[in-house]
């Protein structure tokens, strides 16, 4: 069995099912190291919030169906004092519909083939994907914040989405009969998967860029992208292959780690000296405390939809899918403060700033 490292001050907080899922993966032939991050939780057969390294094999199902899913953080040119929730909410319409822009030109500029055109390009999708407008709540490292040229008085925008149906199609095309066996990395099958995987990564980054542009245009904002990181991927690492399933990279610069829609998010900088301990990976968010089914069962009996359209921090939620607003409620997620504290305790990050949610957008009714 390969070695499993858990990044947590109290591993007893982890869901036993998630730990069982890690142990199952540790028995895969060719698996060498596994890291469970503070947001670790049980997934559909594979734990989410984990990194897996093999010197010799690739497992498509460890990346999953949403290849390239990740977070982009934008600093808009809108001043916080001019951000009006009511006005913003009224202007956020038509954003679930297909993007009316030039798909061919966007794909060509990104270096992607035209057969990857899709009506899903430029749309958020379902599940836990979102666009959230935020403001700086506190700056933990004033000097670094200034060095980065960031501005505390602007509205920020976080985009969480991925490769949509493209990643699902790729996983289905490369799904193995025996997932435990993996694909030898030097085989034609692995090379075919990796080529499609890499295209999906670029597609997902382009998707987040177009989503951000659509939201800014709908509000008359300008903006600049501060970062874009993928947390579902497999990449070359130290002569082998590093699979991240709900794990942010610690070797690509700044990282944003979101809380639930009713909690703070954090802008952090990885600390390179400690990165190998956690397979150069970080938590990608708060991590689920309850499954979607459990969240709906627990919360739909206690709250109305209207109750969940405002959060404890005073932010607004736009989610006109009745089931989804319960499934993705803040109570369904872990405490992001504890996740950040675990990463700090492990010496993996330094916090630059904390961001407060202003408005979270998931979907409008069809």
Looking at every residue in the chain, the average pLDDT score rounds to 97
Q: Say whether pLDDT at 366 is over 80.
A: no
Helix (H) or strand (E) holding 266: strand 265-270
User: What pLDDT, in 10s, does the model give residues 211-267?
Assistant: 999 999 999 999 999 999 999 999 999 999 999 999 999 999 999 999 999 999 999
Q: Say whether pLDDT at 177 is over 90.
A: no
CA 45 to chain centre: 19
Q: Does any domain span residue 212?
A: yes
Average pLDDT, integer, range 68-79: 98
Per-residue burial over 4-24, b if 16 or more Cβ lie within 10 Å, else e, is bbbbbeeeeebbeebbebbee
Q: Does any domain span residue 14?
A: no
Helix (H) or strand (E) holding 76: strand 70-79
Average pLDDT, integer, range 278-301: 97
Q: Count of domains in the chain?
A: 1
Give the model's pLDDT for residue 228: 98
Residue from 129, 231, 284, 345 carrying the catalytic annotation:
284
Domain CATH code at residue 306: 3.90.1860.10
Q: Does any domain span residue 254?
A: yes
Q: Does any domain span residue 345?
A: yes
Give the model's pLDDT for residue 2: 81
What is d(CA 54, CA 251) in angstroms, rounded to the nearest whole number? 18
Give the model's pLDDT for residue 317: 98
The pTM assigned to this predicted structure is 0.97
Task: Tell me whether residue 284 is one of the annotated catalytic residues.
Answer: yes
- pLDDT band (50, 70, 90) for residue 4: very high
- Domain interval for residue 151: 69-165+175-229+249-363
User: What pLDDT, in 10s, does the model give residues 133-159?
Assistant: 999 999 999 999 999 999 999 999 999
Give the model's pLDDT for residue 200: 98
Residues present in the chain in total? 366
Helix (H) or strand (E) holding 358: strand 349-363
**51 three-state secondary structure:** strand
Hunting for tokens 């903006």 — which residue is that? 223
Give the model's pLDDT for residue 152: 97
**318 three-state secondary structure:** strand
What is d(CA 332, CA 116) in angstroms, rounded to the nearest whole number? 35
Q: Does any domain span residue 243?
A: no
Q: Does any domain span residue 57?
A: no
Neighbours of 27 (CB within 10 A): 10
Q: Does any domain span residue 272?
A: yes
Average pLDDT, integer, range 316-330: 97
Q: Say whether pLDDT at 194 is over 70.
A: yes
- Pairing mode, if any, of strands 3-6 and 33-41? parallel
What is d(CA 5, CA 240) in angstroms, rounded to the nearest whole number? 18
pLDDT > 90 in the chain, percent: 96
Q: Say whether pLDDT at 1 is over 80.
A: no
Give the model's pLDDT for residue 176: 85
Give the model's pLDDT for residue 266: 98
Q: Does any domain span residue 219?
A: yes
What is d(CA 104, CA 115) in angstroms, rounded to the nearest whole number? 9
């Amino acid at each position: 069995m390969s070695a499993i490292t858990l990044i947590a001050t109290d591993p007893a907080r982890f869901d036993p099912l998630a730990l069982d899922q890690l142990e199952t993966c540790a028995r895969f032939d060719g698996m060498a190291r596994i890291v469970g991050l503070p947001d670790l939780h049980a997934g559909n057969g594979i734990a989410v919030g984990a990194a897996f390294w093999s010197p010799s094999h690739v497992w498509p199902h460890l990346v999953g169906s949403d290849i390239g899913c990740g977070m982009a953080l934008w600093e808009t040119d809108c001043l916080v004092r001019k951000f009006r929730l009511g006005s913003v909410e009224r202007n956020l319409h038509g954003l679930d519909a297909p993007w009316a822009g030039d798909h061919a030109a966007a794909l060509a500029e990104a270096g992607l083939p035209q057969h990857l055109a899709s009506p899903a390009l430029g749309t958020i999708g379902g599940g836990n994907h979102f666009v959230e407008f935020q403001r700086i709540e506190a700056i933990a490292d004033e000097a670094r914040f200034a060095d980065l040229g960031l501005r505390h008085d602007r509205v920020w925008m976080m985009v969480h989405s991925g490769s949509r149906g493209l990643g699902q199609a790729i996983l289905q095309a490369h799904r193995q009969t025996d997932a435990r066996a993996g694909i030898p990395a030097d085989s034609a099958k692995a090379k075919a998967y990796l080529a499609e995987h890499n295209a999906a990564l670029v597609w997902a980054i382009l998707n987040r860029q177009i989503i951000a542009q659509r939201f800014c245009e709908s509000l008359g904002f300008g903006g600049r992208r501060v970062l874009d990181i993928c947390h579902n991927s497999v990449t070359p690492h130290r002569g082998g292959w590093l699979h991240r399933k709900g794990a942010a990279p610690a070797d690509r610069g700044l990282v944003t780690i979101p809380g639930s829609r009713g909690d703070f998010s954090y802008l952090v900088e990885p600390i390179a000296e400690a990165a190998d301990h956690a397979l150069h990976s970080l938590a990608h968010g708060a991590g689920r405390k309850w499954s979607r089914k459990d969240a709906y069962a627990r919360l739909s009996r206690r709250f109305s939809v209207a109750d969940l359209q405002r959060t404890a921090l005073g932010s607004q939620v736009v989610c006109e899918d009745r089931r989804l607003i319960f499934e993705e409620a803040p109570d369904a997620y872990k405490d992001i403060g504890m996740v950040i504290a675990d990463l700090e305790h492990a010496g993996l990050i330094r916090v630059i700033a904390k961001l407060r949610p202003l408005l979270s957008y998931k979907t409008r009714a069809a």
